[in-house]
Amino acid sequence: MEKYAKQFINGSWVDGSSDKQLENVNPYSQESFFTMSSASEEDLDKAYEGAKDAFASWKDTPPSEKRNLLLKVAGVMQNRKEEIIDLLIREAGSSEIKANIEFGAALGIVQESASFPYRSKGQIMDSDFPGKENRVYRSPKGVIGVIGPWNFPFHLSMRSVAPAIVAGNTVVLKPASDTIVTAGTLIADIFKEAGAPDGVLNVVAGRGSEIGDAFVTHPVPKVISFTGSTEVGSHIASLAGEHIKETALELGGNNPFVVLEDADIDQAVEAAIFGKFLHQGQICMSANRVLVHENIHEEFVDKFKKRAANLKTGDPSEEGVIIGPLIKKEEVDRIKEDINESVKAGAKLELGGEAEGSVFQPTILTNVTQDMPTAAKEMFGPVASIITFKDEEEALQLSNGTPYGLSGAVHSKDIHRATEFAKKMETGMVHVNDQPVNDEAHASFGGEKHSGLGRFGGEWALDKFTTVKWISVQSEKREYPF
């Protein structure tokens, strides 16, 4: 892993010039993989200037070459799949199942993005003025700054990097400090092996306190793409607004998993298990609040508890482990405090509530109300808060009663009823008779309210990373009123 302990700037691997250090640690064993020099503002400037210089030629590269680069990236990923899976397990604390899901999602993004050069189209329109033709040209925006997260580091960084580059932009990527490799330098190495021209992708790993604000306010990038917490996203949006920069923000969620009284309970339980406990619940789309009709509450809780109790916990590199480590040991104390406060307020601890090292047991709370910490906050841990409701109206009020609006799910045997309920949910995504952790490369992905701005995926990503210009052509002499 030592080979990834460098910055990647303008096609070269270089040491960071800051006197501060970044340590890369296995979240389960606490083994230190490496310590590297952090990037400074000087390094950041070199990366942005390199990307700016590369954009001058990359934007005019024929579409076939852009497509072929992404196809080669996909090929390199497939050839190095075992390495990528291993790094996701060791650096991000991913189980083997989660790492494979993440690899598949990232590969899907790259393959979908490879089609973008031939889907980026302008338009010719009629004019109200005689002898005039209106043309709308589409072009890449320029340099894109991407800030990658630690929870699905490889996929969620690639989700911006791949479409931005193939649309004709160049990129500077800042990975999360907890996943320097899988959110950053690994991706740079893959693009380099695939033959990406120097400067098209740059990676600067540095402390947010040192280069975080400068990454956004630097004059070169036209768009800042960020995936992470709502608090940090709000700060980025504020900085970007001051500098009239566009943002793509995928932020936090407090996602409702709604089980109506006519739901298939067994199916709902299986969906809830996956949607809550995949990657220890450290997913922005995870089912945070499980809303269950009071008539089926007892049966649902009994089945849900039995399934959760049988989930294997421990070292994510071991076969069959579902619940691995939280990204940092400090997260254990945060989650315990929220559980304890909720229990004091009247919640009942049905399962779990304890941790061994950084591995937190799958935890279920009942008798929860919307204002208790485990329901009011995004837990980002393996904690399910079950809330009962008496009718559909109350379920909808509970669903929408948070500042967030990322994803959600609703279960009912009546598909039309569930769909109508979903349409009233104030979220960017809802999944009927499924769970909220869904991401398909060709579909729109993003949230409402405090869960973000803009959409990723398919044509929506293409729109985000390109701009349009209206050029009117007056081919006949125009008569003016004065």
Catalytically active residues are 250
Beta bridge partners of 137: 469
- Token pair, residue 459, equals 């044509």
Tokens 């009663």 belong to which residue?
401
Among the listed residues 318, 323, 365, 324, the one whose alpha carbon sits nearest the alpha carbon of residue 346: 365
Which distant-in-sequence residues (6+ apart) come within 8 Å of 140 by Cβ?
55, 59, 167, 168, 169, 465, 466, 467
- Report the largest interatomic distance among the alpha carbons of the chain, rounded to a whole angstrom: 82
Cβ-based burial of 394 (10 A; exposed 0-12, middle 13-18, buried ≥19): middle
Rounded distance, CA 391 to CA 295, Å? 10
Strand, coil or helix: what is 170?
A: strand
Residue 415 CB coordination number (10 Å): 10
Among the listed residues 17, 179, 167, the one whose alpha carbon sits nearest the alpha carbon of residue 89: 179
Distances (CA, A) of 355 to 212, 334, 336, 359, 382: 32, 12, 9, 5, 11
Which distant-in-sequence residues (6+ apart) come within 8 Å of 475 by Cβ?
131, 132, 133
Rounded distance, CA 91 to CA 102, Å? 14
The angle that helices 63-79 and 81-92 make with each other, rounded to 10 degrees, is 70
Strand, coil or helix: what is 347?
A: coil
